[in-house]
Amino acid sequence: MLAGLNAPQREAVLSTEGPWLVIAGAGSGKTRVLTTRIAHLIRELDVPPEAILAFTFTNKAAREMRGRVEREAPQAAGRCWIGTFHATGVRILRREAHRLGYPNSFTIYDAVDTRSLMVSILKDLRADPKQFPPRAAASEISRLKNAFVSVAQARESALTHRDEKRADVYEEYERRLRTNGAMDFDDLIGRTVQLFEEHPQVQQRYSDRFRYVLVDEFQDTNPLQLVMIRALSASHGNLFAVGDDDQSIYSWRGATVDNMLKFEDYFPGSKLLRLEQNYRSTSIILNAANTVISNNRRRKGKTLWTEQTGGDLIELRWADDGDDEAGQIRDTIRHLGNEGVPRREMVILYRTNAQSRSIEDALRREGIPYQIIGGTRFFERREVKDLLAYLRVLANPADSISLARIINVPRRGVGKASVEKLYGAAAAAGISPLELCKDTSRLASTVGTAPAKRLYAFARLIEDLGRLAQSRDAVAVFKQLMAAIKYEDWIRKDDPSTAEERLENVAELGNAVHSFVSETDDGTLAEFLESVTLLADIDRLEESGDMVTLMTMHTAKGLEFPYVFVAGCEEGLLPHMTSLQEDDGVEEERRLFYVALTRAERRLFLSSAASRQRFGSYEPMLPSRFLGELPDDCYTEVGLSTRPPMRSTSRLPSAGPRRHRPVSRSDEPAAWDNGFSVETFRRSQAQAKSRASDPDHGFEEHEWNQEEIHFAPGLRVKHEKLGEGTIEVVEGFGDLTRLTIDFADAGKKKVLAKYAKIQVVGEVDGP
C-alpha cells in the first residue's frame, strides 16, 4: 500500500493517533493519502471498518474514495461511513430525528422546495417584496441557521422593524417545516448538532463508535460543520483533516478559512504536515500559481513543486469583446482537435454562469459538442419535479409543499380557489391537507361537493400507493404511479410541441430509479428520494462522450483537465465587483483564480476582453489585477496589437514566489474542553479571533494599497450636498461608472461616480 508514496504522504498515512492537519496543495495526491490511510487502519491495525468515518464534499468524491478503499481493503465494502456532511447527517437523523420531534421519514426540501415554501410564507405574512425577495429571504434564513441562531435569538437581537419581520418569517418557516415533516439542507447538519447537544448520550454513542474521523477539503467547512466534527471526534481526538487554505472559495455559502488557519487553536496538541509535491501540472503553471497566491497574506503558506520541468508557456489572450473572446476559444479548440486532442480533455471556466452564453453560441455555430455543469438541472425540470413530488407525498403524506404541486397535476378539476380553501381549513384544524381530504363531510362543506369528490378520490389514490411504497422497492412504486395517474398521456395532451422532450425526461427519471435499485439491492422509495435530493451539480459530470465541458470556477474545484481555458479575466468579473465590498474579498477571489490555474495539467489559456456587453450596450473593461501578478517568464501574449494597461494591486512589496510562512500562535492555545457545544466553539473562536487581531499574531503584515471604491446596489452612501441615500443601479465601469441613487431628501439622482464626491457610510442593505 505504501509503495510509491513520497515521504510526507507516507508520514500522513502512518501517523494515526491524535489531531492532524495536512495542508495538501492542488494535485498533491491527497485522495490517495486519505484512502491509503483508511486501508492501513483496516488492514494493518485491525480497525473495524464501522469505526471509521470520512467526510467528503461531493457524492462523486465519496464514491471515488469508497471505491479506492474497497479495492485496497475488500473487507471494508459497505461498512465504512464515507459521505458528505449532509449525507452523514441524514444517516444519523433517519435513526434519531424522533428525539427532536420530527418523523424519521422526514422529507428533505431542496432549494426549489424551500423557495416555494418561502413564497407562500411571505405572501401570508404580507411581507414587503422589496425588502424580502423570496430567494434572498431564504438565503438570509440559511445564514442564520448556519450561524446556529435560533428564532428566539433572532427576535431578541432585532433592532429594526425589518429585523422583527425577518424573525416572523424565520419562525413561520420553521413551524411549517415541522408541520410538513420536512427539513431543509441546513437542517441536515444543524439538527444533527442540536441532537448531540440536547441528547449527550446519543453524541457519546456516535463518538465512541467512530474511533477515527477523517475530513477531506477541510478549508470548505463552516462553523457548524466544525462543531459536528468536534462532536464526533470528542471521545478519542483522532481527527485527520486534509485541505488547502489557498483553495478556500466558498465564504458565500458559509465556509470560513479560519477553520483551517486556526486549527491549532480549535484542536490543541494538533500536528501540521504539508504535501507540496504536485503530480498534475507543469512547472510553468505551478510557478504562475505560486506567485499569484503569494500575494495573499492570510494563509498557512506552502510552495507547490513538480518534477515535470518546463512545459508550454501560458497563453494570455487579449480580445476586443466577449464575442471575440468566445471566437478565439472556439478556434483554439478546433485547432487542438485537429492535432488529435480529445474534446473531453478541454474545459472552459468562467466566474459567472452568464458568461457562458457567447461561448455556447460560438461552439454551436462551429458544431462543437459541449456540456454545461451547473446549468438547468435535470431534477428541476417541470415533469421531473412533478413526479418527484408525487413520490415525496407517498413517502411523507404530511409534505404539503409537494402536495400543492401535484394536487391538480394531471388536471383533475380542482381549482386554485378550492386548494386555497383546503389548505386554510387544514391549517385551522391543525391537520395536514391530505388528512382533510379523507374527511368527506368536512371536505364538502369546505370546497363544495364536486371538488370534494375529486379530492377524496385523489387522497385514496395516494393512500393506496403509499401502502405499496412501504412494502415494495422504488421501481415497483414508480411503475404503479405512472399507470395510476396516466402522466404520459397527460403530457401528450398538455403541450404536443414539447411532449417528446418531456417524455424523454420522464423515461430518464425511470432509468434513474432502475439504476438506483439495481445498485443498492432493492432500494426503497425513501432512499431513492434521499439520493436525488443530495445530488450536487458536479455529480452529474458526464464521464463519457467526447465533448468540451463548461463550468464556473467554483464548480471546477477538485477536478483536473489537460487543457484549461479561463475566460473573463477582468476587473469586475475576476475579482468580481460584489466581492470587493467584503473584508478579505480580494483574497478569496485570488484563491478562486489560483483554483482555476491549478486545474490545468498541460496547457493553460487566459483571456481578457477590452469591452463586454451589458444591458444592450458595450462597456469598457480593464484586465484583472491578477494578470498583473503573473511572473513575466511564464506567459506569452496573443491578440490585440496594443497591450491593455495592466496594474498589479498586490498588497505585498514583491510578487516573487516565497516559501511558506507558518502562522505562529500563542504558547497557550484556546482551551477546548471535552465538550463540543456551540457555546464552547464560539468562545474558542472569539479567543482565536482576538489573538489574530494582535500585531504579533504571526502573519506577515504589509502596507495595504488604497483600493478604489467599488459600488453595488443597496450600498448606503453620502453626498456632501444631497445627503445620504441608497444606490439602486450601477452602470458602466471605471471612470464611466454611473450611479442611480435614491437620496432620503433629494429623491432619485443619476451621478457620475468619478466626480460625485460620495463616500460609503454603510454595508449593503438587505439579504
Angstrom distance (rounded) from CA 726 to CA 714:
6
Show the 3-state SS of 43-105.
HCCCCCHHHEEEEECCHHHHHHHHHHHHHHCHHHCCCCEEEEHHHHHHHHHHHHHHHHCCCCC
Whether cis (ω within 30° of 0) applies to the bond prior to 644 is no
Cell of 116: 416555494
Annotated catalytic, 277? no
**Residues in Cβ contact with 613 at an 8 Å cutoff, skipping those fewer than 6 apart:** 321, 322, 619
The length of the chain, given as a count of residues: 767
Greatest CA separation found in the chain? 82
3-state class (DSSP) for residue 697: coil
- 92 near 83, Cβ under 8 Å? no
The single residue of 172, 184, 187, 216 carrying the catalytic annotation is: 216
**Residues in Cβ contact with 633 at an 8 Å cutoff, skipping those fewer than 6 apart:** none
Cell of 247: 483553495
Edge-to-edge strand list for the sheet holding 81-84: 81-84, 52-56, 212-215, 239-243, 20-24, 271-275
- 99 near 189, Cβ under 8 Å? no
Angstrom distance (rounded) from CA 17 to CA 37:
12
Annotated catalytic, 439? no
The single residue of 217, 220, 246, 265 carrying the catalytic annotation is: 217
**Residues in Cβ contact with 130 at an 8 Å cutoff, skipping those fewer than 6 apart:** none
Angstrom distance (rounded) from CA 231 to CA 585:
31
The single residue of 9, 30, 280, 383 carrying the catalytic annotation is: 30
**Cα within 13 Å of Cα(694), Cβ side:** 14
Angstrom distance (rounded) from CA 400 to CA 402:
6
- 374 near 537, Cβ under 8 Å? yes
| Count of Cβ atoms closer than 10 Å to residue 388 Cβ | 22
Closest CA to 185 of 591, 530, 567, 575: 530
- 624 near 606, Cβ under 8 Å? no
Strands 561-566 and 346-350: parallel
Angstrom distance (rounded) from CA 443 to CA 664:
69
**Cα within 13 Å of Cα(760), Cβ side:** 14
Angstrom distance (rounded) from CA 349 to CA 355:
9
Angstrom distance (rounded) from CA 391 to CA 370:
32
The single residue of 31, 131, 520, 578 carrying the catalytic annotation is: 31
Annotated catalytic, 247? yes
Angstrom distance (rounded) from CA 279 to CA 705:
36
Angstrom distance (rounded) from CA 311 to CA 333:
19
Annotated catalytic, 30? yes
Whether cis (ω within 30° of 0) applies to the bond prior to 575 is yes
Show the 3-state SS of 333-400.
HHHHHHCCCCHHHEEEEECCHHHHHHHHHHHHHHCCCEEECCCCCHHHCHHHHHHHHHHHHHHCCCCH
593: amino acid identity, one letter: F
3-state class (DSSP) for residue 747: strand
Angstrom distance (rounded) from CA 183 to CA 96:
14
**Residues in Cβ contact with 254 at an 8 Å cutoff, skipping those fewer than 6 apart:** 142, 143, 146, 222, 223, 224
The single residue of 192, 221, 247, 256 carrying the catalytic annotation is: 247
Which residues are catalytically annotated?
Answer: 30-31, 216-217, 247, 599
